[in-house]
């Protein structure tokens, strides 16, 4: 069965992303088309990139990199839950992505973002990064506004229409992940 990671891309204390990621997982768990798992960057304690050899060489030396690589390798696709900080994604998420290369290749990715303008600019940045990593990013995305989908900018209260958007992202990520399976097997 297709395995999809929902990657929580914020490690900030008091982060809004945890409620968002759990909401995405709850919606995903109502489906039977794939296995879904929440992957929280806090659980991996990745320092700033500390591998001497470029990730594209696949010669990881650090134990934390090897654990992270094994986790990402186990998935067929990803849904990144990202905040928007200064017109981009979080440094923690970008750093976690940069640790690896082949483990991301020939998989699909979707995005659920949040911020003052829904996190749209963070997703645009991530789409460029995904292209370099040979990840097929899907068109559907969820943009959650701190003004309308959160109360007092911190209590997550998404509009009902947002759940439909999550389903559209999941539909596309699962379909594309399955379509890319022959490339991963090669």
User: What are residue 86's phi and psi, to 5 degrees?
Assistant: 50, 50
Q: Does domain 3-185 have CATH number 3.40.50.300?
A: no
Mean pLDDT of the chain: 97
Query: Quick one: 14 exposed, middle or buried, by C-beta within 10 A (0-12, 13-18, 19+)?
Result: exposed
**What pLDDT is recorded for position 50?**
97
Tens digits of residue pLDDT in 152-164: 999 999 999 999 9
Tens digits of residue pLDDT in 17-73: 999 999 999 999 999 999 999 999 999 999 999 999 999 999 999 999 999 999 999
Residue 137 backbone zone (phi > 0: left; psi -120 to 50: alpha; other: beta): beta
Domain locations along the chain: 3-185
**What pLDDT is recorded for position 47?**
98
Q: Which of 116, 115, 167, 118 is nearest to 140 (CA)?
A: 167
Residue showing tokens 């768990």: 29
**What pLDDT is recorded for position 52?**
97
Tens digits of residue pLDDT in 70-115: 999 999 999 999 999 999 999 999 999 999 999 999 999 999 999 9
**What pLDDT is recorded for position 160?**
93
């Amino acid at each position: 069965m297709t395995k999809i990671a929902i990657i929580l891309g914020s490690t900030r204390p008091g982060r809004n992303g945890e409620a968002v990621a759990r909401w995405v997982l709850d919606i995903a768990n109502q489906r039977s088309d794939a296995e879904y798992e929440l992957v929280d960057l806090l659980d991996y304690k990745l320092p700033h990139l500390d591998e001497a050899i470029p990730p594209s060489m696949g010669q990881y030396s650090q134990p934390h990199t090897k654990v992270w690589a094994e986790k990402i390798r186990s998935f067929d696709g990803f849904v990144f839950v990202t905040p928007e900080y200064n017109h981009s994604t979080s440094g923690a998420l970008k750093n976690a992505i940069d640790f690896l290369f082949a483990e991301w290749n020939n998989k699909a990715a979707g995005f659920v973002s949040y911020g003052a303008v829904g996190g749209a600019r963070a997703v645009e940045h991530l789409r460029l990064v995904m292209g370099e990593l040979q990840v097929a990013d899907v068109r559907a995305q969820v943009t959650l506004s701190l003004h309308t989908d959160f109360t007092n900018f911190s209590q997550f209260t998404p509009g009902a229409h947002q759940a439909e958007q999550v389903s559209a992202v999941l539909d596309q990520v699962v379909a594309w992940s399955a379509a890319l399976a022959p490339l991963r097997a090669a």
